[in-house]
Structure 1
């Protein structure tokens, strides 16, 4: 059996750990630049505020119903997520972190304990120690875990946060209830196609011949129906190094000055190099892009990107910063209002397996002690406490609605860089 531990309204729940007076009140968390709603409390959902709603369109509703809105606090969410992961994973030998607010637990071999009660213990411990409410769905496969978790969230008063799909009868009843568009792995377009072919519920999909499923959905669909039948197809994934790293931001306000944009772009390059060192890899390719606001039809539009292959793989902030600056110079044009920019690095090699170009100077090893010292000091004293002179010292996320409680939290805690962000 697997169990899916899913934090309820995670970002809002994190806000409530800082300010308990938010309990029972409508609360929303906004994305970068306070643009869109990315998390809603139950009270906010009841007011009809949709996910990804542009915040400016709902200002009057926020004011009328006293909806509390907060800028995303990535560091806080990362810290709370790690606390939840640490507690849940301590109950099992094998687990998979699926996202910032979800993880799968492998309960295979738990033959002589009551799995439902065991998961209730996990749920209660997370609530007691972190004050984050979670829902836990238990089933033979990961896809059915998603179904069980959906049932817990849709019927909170019936199952006390934990539900187990452990019999064919329960599975059949659940699949006859679940809309096809809510099946894990079926997107909006595919759901429409399914409905056009008479598949409205998950159970309807199981009635289709395998050849039809293979034709419409490919091998992915065959695996899906097996998972829905309780036949395990998806094992727990072990973390692997990323194949590309991107740091992109939409600016809070449009920028016209070259130096303002340059500072931010070079800062993004530094963040990419930090992440490369974190996973002990070097990159061989760097891409820089800039773009204006495509929604401002009254302003001239411009977007461009450029890529450079490096002579030697590197993760040095100094070397990557130089390349980023050269690429930025090549694509920047005066006279435009820039809204977004970013740096992408890819084509990775392990740090200890670099192949050096004999005809190019390699200064990676010269920079290595400096980079290690910077990383160690930033890890100890907090992000960006030590940085290169070309990096922007300003907040690159455009977060205006930070609470005093959060400022106090940051002051009293040294936090890791957030692993998850909204660009």
Structure 2
């Protein structure tokens, strides 16, 4: 059996760990640049606020219903996510798990023959709630696809499954679930595919099982055959182990289109410095740095332009000074006057561990001089808060465009050493 542990309304729940007064109040968390709703409390959902709602369109609704509107705090969500994952993994002697997303974790309970899985998962859920104050739901089933469905059920029918755990362990339970599940809610079936299925009379997950295998293979290929077996309770999808990062990217869409060259250059250098910080957190150096810039693709009348370029570094580096310098030189090469720029980014790739750097005999190793400086900056920022100590080229403005932050968040950043995430925030 497998289980899917899912954190409920994760970003909002994380906010409530910082500010308990948010409990029982409608809360929404906004995306980069405070643009769209990316997380909602149950109270906010009841007000009819949809996921992805543009904040400016719902401004009056927020005010009329005293909705607490918050900027996203990605460092906090990363920190809480890894706390949840570590706590859940501690309940697995076999160490078999898969981190599926920032708020979802698959657990492998194969071999737990003499355990009452329902009670065991209730203990996991209770431990996370007691220690971290984060609510979770757990769906248990013979396959990963059915786990997704079991978790969907327990979150949708909270009154029926007040324990927050639902185990789908019989053919009768599986059949009932599939007969009630809309086809678009099956894991792996998106909007386009569900429309095609409905044209062929497939409205529920159960309807898909009634179709011949040849039809499924024609519409979905081998992926569809695997899905059918998963829905029948025959495991097809194994747990995936997290692979090592092959690149790190920091990119942002600007709140407003930017025409000032110096302003874009400052953002590019800041992104490179953030990449360097991430490299140092994982004790790595990069061999390649890339930069891109682009205009607003929705404003073609202003002119379209995008370009990017990569440089292979003379020596592997994690120095903020070195990476900012090379990022700036790339920017100078690709920048063109007369355009309204909307997005820019920096990516570093081709990593090597710090202790395995091979130095080019014909180049000076500048990093060796910068290492003590970088360590001092990292230590001071860890103690006093993000970007409190920074290079002269940085403005110190937050790059996410987050206006609604709090003193509690600043205190959190000061008091915690944050590990690097294994996923990207969109």
Q: Deviations over 1:51-73 (max 9, x none)?
A: 11110111111112221110001
CA contact (8 A) 1:312 1:355 kept: no
Q: Counterpart of 1:54? A: 54
* Residue 310 (structure 1) aligned with residue 318 (structure 2): no
Quote how far apart the aligned CAs of 1:124 are: 1.4
Q: Please give the secondary structure, in 2, of the residue aligned with 1:252.
A: strand
Quote how far apart the aligned CAs of 1:330 are: 1.8
CA contact (8 A) 1:246 1:272 kept: yes
CA contact (8 A) 2:385 2:410 kept: no
Measure, in 2, the Cα distance between the counterparts of 1:349 and 1:312: 14
CA contact (8 A) 1:241 1:279 kept: no
* Residue 267 (structure 1) aligned with residue 270 (structure 2): yes
Unpaired runs of at least 5, structure 1: none
Measure, in 1, the Cα distance between the counterparts of 2:36 and 2:277: 28
- CA change 1:238–1:256 in 2 (3 A) is same
Give the TM-score normalised by the residue count of structure 2: 0.89
Quote how far apart the aligned CAs of 1:281 are: 4.8
Measure, in 2, the Cα distance between the counterparts of 1:172 and 1:374: 58
Q: Please give the secondary structure, in 2, of the residue aligned with 1:221.
A: helix
CA contact (8 A) 1:383 1:417 kept: no
Measure, in 2, the Cα distance between the counterparts of 1:410 and 1:279: 18
CA RMSD for the aligned pairs?
2.6
* Residue 39 (structure 1) aligned with residue 39 (structure 2): yes
- CA change 1:342–1:180 in 2 (3 A) is same
Quote how far apart the aligned CAs of 1:192 are: 1.5
Give the TM-score normalised by the residue count of structure 1: 0.90
* Residue 98 (structure 1) aligned with residue 127 (structure 2): no
Q: Please give the secondary structure, in 2, of the residue aligned with 1:156.
A: coil
Quote how far apart the aligned CAs of 1:29 are: 0.4
* Residue 238 (structure 1) aligned with residue 237 (structure 2): no
Q: Counterpart of 2:16? A: 16
Measure, in 2, the Cα distance between the counterparts of 1:418 and 1:362: 26
CA contact (8 A) 2:226 2:236 kept: yes
CA contact (8 A) 2:305 2:339 kept: no
Q: Counterpart of 2:279? A: 276
- CA change 1:128–1:105 in 2 (3 A) is same
Q: Counterpart of 2:293? A: 290
Quote how far apart the aligned CAs of 1:167 are: 0.9
After TM superposition, list the pairs within 5 Å mapping 1:117-156 onto structure 2.
117-156=119-158
Measure, in 2, the Cα distance between the counterparts of 1:351 and 1:208: 55
- Larger displacement relative to structure 2 (377-386 or 199-208): 377-386
* Residue 183 (structure 1) aligned with residue 186 (structure 2): yes
- CA change 1:347–1:226 in 2 (3 A) is farther
Quote how far apart the aligned CAs of 1:177 are: 1.3
Give the total of aligned pairs. Answer: 421
CA contact (8 A) 1:26 1:41 kept: yes
Q: Counterpart of 1:330? A: 333
- Larger displacement relative to structure 2 (347-356 or 280-289): 347-356
- Larger displacement relative to structure 2 (92-101 or 23-32): 92-101
Quote how far apart the aligned CAs of 1:345 are: 2.9
Measure, in 1, the Cα distance between the counterparts of 2:217 and 2:285: 40
Measure, in 2, the Cα distance between the counterparts of 1:23 and 1:311: 50
Measure, in 2, the Cα distance between the counterparts of 1:277 and 1:375: 9
Q: Deviations over 1:306-327 (max 9, x none)?
A: 2124154623333332221111
CA contact (8 A) 2:251 2:346 kept: yes
Q: Counterpart of 1:65? A: 65
Q: Please give the secondary structure, in 2, of the residue aligned with 1:14.
A: helix
CA contact (8 A) 1:284 1:346 kept: yes
Measure, in 2, the Cα distance between the counterparts of 1:375 and 1:213: 54
Measure, in 2, the Cα distance between the counterparts of 1:12 and 1:132: 10
- Larger displacement relative to structure 2 (311-320 or 4-13): 311-320
